[in-house]
């Protein structure tokens, strides 16, 4: 799939590097290496025994050698490093030059609780779990605190930091992927990009680009908009993507303002619309300044309607993040809100200046929403395009399970649906 560089996970023992690394590798379709496992395999002994027999220095030299081997032979792998890998300058510079580092943050008490839990689980399964060498002693919590104190300066120097506190490993992986996407790290290599001109009103582009969200500022620049832009999203997308996108927009010279509505269909309401108008008025948003709708169909419909009606219409950019929104609701210009007496009763047609679709965002979309989106795609296949339907059948398992999702195929399917929706929607305009 798409490339980026190696991903090195760093952090204390108990931060989840191996488990999260495995999930990331699978979701991003990359090979996975666990340096501790490689050392054990090479030496034929557990880490604790290696420490006991040969000492820490010997272990560290094996660690550096195997890290260098993996980092130099692989350009696109996920690597779980040992907690102490950052203590050596040569390892740190290797990691910096051969990829991106992600610091999995955990406090010493939580790390210890996790390590104890793992220990008991292994015992319950009849295994003889080893005790991590640097934690042997009467006060492992104190040891972890000291390790963190000594190493935090290097951990915090990572390219990305993700807290693991009170989060499932799946959630941490989801947040890391969102960081990669929104920071522009996850672009296709070669770029996977397709543009379709939609000839309605003044005409606009529907851009489908793997990793395109991270290049949002570049796409906006082509529209010659004033620097102030109003990014509107929902609470789920906010947590995953907003801060990084605000950062990339600011670095590119934009002055982004952020507004967040609660996630869920309930926000497609008169109340939320009024609150949105209030916010825009307080911001003194002007006619030429653009509103960016970042999210699924709910955000696209609500924000699209606000853009259509505020000051009798301001520039709108649709950045759909759910499959349904990418193949359907962000295309065609339908915007609106629900009324207590029925769904979508109030609305209008309003076309954006740009639709930027990044199918990589589907990597963080929950399964249920993905399935709903696929239902829409299958409908296109059945009604409008037998070739698309045959393709969906051929790749059904991959697309449904979303294991190692093929970036090019996803982009092609989304673009295919956009073209079909345009041909199907033509009659209504």
Judged by the rule CB under 6 A, the positions of this chain that interact with ligand NAD are 234, 236-237, 240, 263, 265, 268, 295-299, 301, 321-322, 324-325, 328-329, 332, 334, 344, 361, 364-366, 369, 372
Q: Residue of minimal CB distance from ligand NAD?
A: 297
Closest separation between CB of residue 366 and ligand NAD, Å?
6
Nearer to ligand NAD, 39 or 294 (CB): 294
Contact 155, 103 (CB under 8 A): yes
Most distant CA pair in the chain, distance = 78
CA–CA separation, 4 and 180 (whole Å): 9
| Pairing status of strand 290-295 against strand 228-234 | parallel
- The DSSP letter of residue 385 is -
Nearer to ligand NAD, 75 or 426 (CB): 426
CA–CA separation, 415 and 402 (whole Å): 18
Closest separation between CB of residue 335 and ligand NAD, Å?
6
Nearer to ligand NAD, 218 or 367 (CB): 367
Closest separation between CB of residue 415 and ligand NAD, Å?
18
Closest separation between CB of residue 356 and ligand NAD, Å?
13
Main-chain dihedrals φ then ψ at residue 104, nearest 5 degrees: -90, 110
Half-sphere exposure of residue 209: CA atoms within 13 angstroms, side-chain side: 25
Closest separation between CB of residue 302 and ligand NAD, Å?
8
Find where tokens 């907690």 sit: 83
CA–CA separation, 97 and 184 (whole Å): 18
Please, which residues have CB within 8 angstroms of residue 137's CB and are 6 or more apart in sequence? 143
Contact 280, 310 (CB under 8 A): yes
Contact 339, 270 (CB under 8 A): yes
User: Dihedral (C-alpha) 60, 64, 70, 74: value to the nearest 10 degrees?
Assistant: 150
Closest separation between CB of residue 332 and ligand NAD, Å?
5
Nearest to 198 by CA among 428, 427, 426: 426
Closest separation between CB of residue 224 and ligand NAD, Å?
27
In terms of residues, how long is the chain? Answer: 429
Residue 376: helix, strand or coil by DSSP?
Answer: helix
Nearer to ligand NAD, 92 or 370 (CB): 370
Closest separation between CB of residue 57 and ligand NAD, Å?
45
């Amino acid at each position: 799939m798409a490339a980026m560089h190696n991903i090195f996970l760093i952090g204390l023992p108990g931060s989840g590097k191996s488990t999260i690394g495995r999930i990331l590798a699978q979701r991003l379709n990359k090979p996975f290496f666990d340096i501790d496992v490689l050392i054990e395999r090479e030496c034929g002994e557990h880490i604790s025994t290696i420490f006991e027999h040969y000492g820490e220095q010997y272990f560290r030299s094996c660690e550096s050698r195997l890290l260098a081997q993996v980092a130099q032979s692989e350009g696109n792998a996920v690597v779980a490093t040992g907690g102490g890998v950052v203590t050596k300058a040569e390892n740190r510079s290797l990691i910096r030059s051969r990829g991106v580092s992600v610091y999995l943050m955990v406090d010493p008490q939580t790390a210890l609780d996790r390590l104890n839990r793992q220990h008991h689980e292994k015992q319950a399964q009849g295994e003889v779990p080893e005790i991590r060498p640097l934690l042997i002693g009467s006060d492992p919590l104190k040891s972890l605190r000291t390790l963190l104190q000594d190493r935090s300066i290097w951990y915090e120097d990572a390219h990305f930091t993700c807290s693991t506190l009170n989060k499932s490993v799946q959630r941490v992986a989801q947040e890391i992927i969102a960081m990669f996407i929104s920071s522009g790290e996850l672009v296709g290599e070669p770029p996977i990009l397709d543009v379709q001109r939609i000839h309605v009103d003044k005409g606009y582009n529907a851009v489908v680009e793997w990793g395109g969200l991270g290049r949002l500022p570049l796409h906006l620049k082509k529209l010659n908009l004033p620097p102030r832009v109003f990014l509107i999203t929902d609470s789920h997308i906010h947590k995953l993507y907003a801060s990084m996108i605000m950062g990339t927009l600011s670095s590119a010279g934009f002055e982004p303002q952020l507004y967040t509505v609660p996630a869920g269909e309930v926000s497609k309401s008169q109340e939320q619309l009024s609150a949105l108008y209030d916010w825009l008025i307080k911001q003194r948003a002007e006619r030429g300044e653009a509103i960016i709708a970042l999210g699924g169909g709910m955000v696209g419909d609500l924000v699209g309607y606000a853009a259509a009606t505020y000051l009798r219409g301001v520039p709108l950019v649709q950045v759909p993040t759910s499959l349904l929104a990418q193949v359907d609701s962000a295309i065609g210009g339908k915007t609106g809100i629900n009324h207590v007496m029925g769904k979508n009763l109030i609305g209008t047609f309003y076309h954006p200046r740009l639709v930027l679709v990044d199918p990589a965002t589907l990597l963080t979309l929950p399964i249920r929403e993905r399935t709903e989106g696929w239902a829409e795609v299958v409908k296109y296949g059945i009604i409008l395009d037998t070739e698309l339907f045959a393709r969906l059948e051929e790749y059904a398992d991959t697309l449904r399970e979303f294991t190692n999702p093929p970036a090019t195929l996803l982009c092609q399917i989304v673009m295919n649906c956009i073209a079909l929706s345009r041909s199907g929607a033509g009659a209504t305009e």
